[in-house]
Amino acid sequence: MSVSAWRRTGTIGLSLVLAACGGGGAGARSAPPSAPTVPTSANTASPSLAPLGALVARIQVEDQPDPLSFAFGSLWVGHYQADLVERIDPARDRVVASIPTGTSPIDLTPGFGSLWVANYDDNSVSRIDPRTNDVVATIEVGREPEGIIAAEGAVWAINLLDASLTRIDPGTNEAIAVRDLGGSPFYGSSGFGSLWITNQGDDVVQRVDAITGRVMASIPVDAAPVHTAIGMGSVWVTCYDDGTIVRIDPATNGVSASIPVAEGIDGLLVDDGRVWVVGDVDRTIYEIDPDTASVVGRLQPGPELRNPAVGSGSLWVAAFGSGEVLRIAADRSRP
């Protein structure tokens, strides 16, 4: 069972998680030969780690929040089970709009003056106008769009079941091209003139030309890659089964580091010289120092967690298990 398939069902027992993801058995494998792996003893979280920041607000939202995006001065929260996106005003820490979308909104991205929403179960993308909080267009894409990226004059939907990319023209709101990816493509991000898409079919990150949609390289990473993020001259990848963050050098398309964190890491954020990652299994938020390739902080707020975002001087994390969004004042005192 893929990470995508079971994580939609809500909170499940650890034994099922381990069985679904290989539990260190057949599903786990070592880092690619080119990846220097820092010893686990130096990097895995321990009780002596400093807290990564203070939890300053718990904002009640609809059930099972998952994707987050900070854009247009607000935090946007997708709800896979509730078929809507909520808008949070960070000045008041409260929901100020609730916007119906397509069925099962699973990923969000800002671009071209809009918020774009991948609707997994009805094979569509919703375009939200942040000035009115209305859906102004619904665009048919491939089957089971898992991820959504806005880059280089286009919006790209990553279609899991079709193993394809759909290119959307934001000027006309029309799907104008489809590109084959193969395997099981998941989520992605953009940087260095490319789209970087995780693909669990072969445990690779695919580098895709952001203009043509052509696959330029397939980069082997650790088991079950989920999210990518761009920052500090690198591409970062969470690998769920192996519990590692992989760092890719875009100049060489090679893995430059594989950092052990914890099995079941999922959501990922790179900002201001820090890397944050969310542990799906152990319900922990980790902070990684990219210079030392080490875990330097953690926070365990309690509920099952999903994706992070950053904005208005805070780290935001979706508390999937409690129907909340957590606002965290991240500790900036560490060098």
The whole domain housing 140 covers 3-330
Residues contacting residue 316 through CB under 8 Å, at least 6 positions apart: 68, 70, 75, 308, 309, 310, 325, 326, 327, 328
Is beta strand 50-51 parallel, antiparallel or unpaired with respect to 294-299?
Answer: parallel
Does a structural domain hold residue 81?
Answer: yes
Is beta strand 114-119 parallel, antiparallel or unpaired with respect to 174-180?
Answer: unpaired
User: Given this model, what pLDDT does residue 265 score?
Assistant: 96
Paired tokens of 4: 């995508």
| Sequence letter at residue 106 | I
Does a structural domain hold residue 335?
Answer: no
Does a structural domain hold residue 130?
Answer: yes
- Reduced to 3 states (helix: H, G, I; strand: E, B; else coil), residue 318 is strand
The CATH number that applies at residue 280 is 2.130.10.10
Write the DSSP assignment of 209-250 as a string of letters.
Answer: ETTT--EEEEEE-SSSEEEEEEETTEEEEEETTTTEEEEEET
Does a structural domain hold residue 135?
Answer: yes
In angstroms, the CA 83 to CA 153 distance is 27
User: Given this model, what pLDDT does residue 52 score?
Assistant: 77
> Domain count of the chain?
1
User: Given this model, what pLDDT does residue 333 score?
Assistant: 58
In the chain, alpha helices (H): 3-7, 14-21, 40-43
Residues contacting residue 172 through CB under 8 Å, at least 6 positions apart: none
State the Cα torsion 120-123-129-134 to the nearest 10°: -90
> Which of 307, 287, 70 is CA-nearest to residue 186?
307
| Sequence letter at residue 32 | P
In angstroms, the CA 56 to CA 50 distance is 17
Q: pLDDT tens digit string along 270-298?
A: 998 889 999 999 999 999 999 999 999 99
Q: pLDDT tens digit string along 222-251?
A: 999 999 999 999 999 999 999 999 999 999
In angstroms, the CA 61 to CA 245 distance is 30
Does a structural domain hold residue 96?
Answer: yes
User: Given this model, what pLDDT does residue 272 score?
Assistant: 85
User: Given this model, what pLDDT does residue 116 score?
Assistant: 98
Cα angle for residues 326, 332, 335 (degrees, 5° grid):
140
User: Given this model, what pLDDT does residue 269 score?
Assistant: 96
pLDDT profile of the chain (335 residues), mean per 10: 47 31 31 35 42 89 97 97 97 98 98 98 98 98 98 97 97 95 97 97 97 97 98 97 97 97 96 92 95 92 94 96 93 59
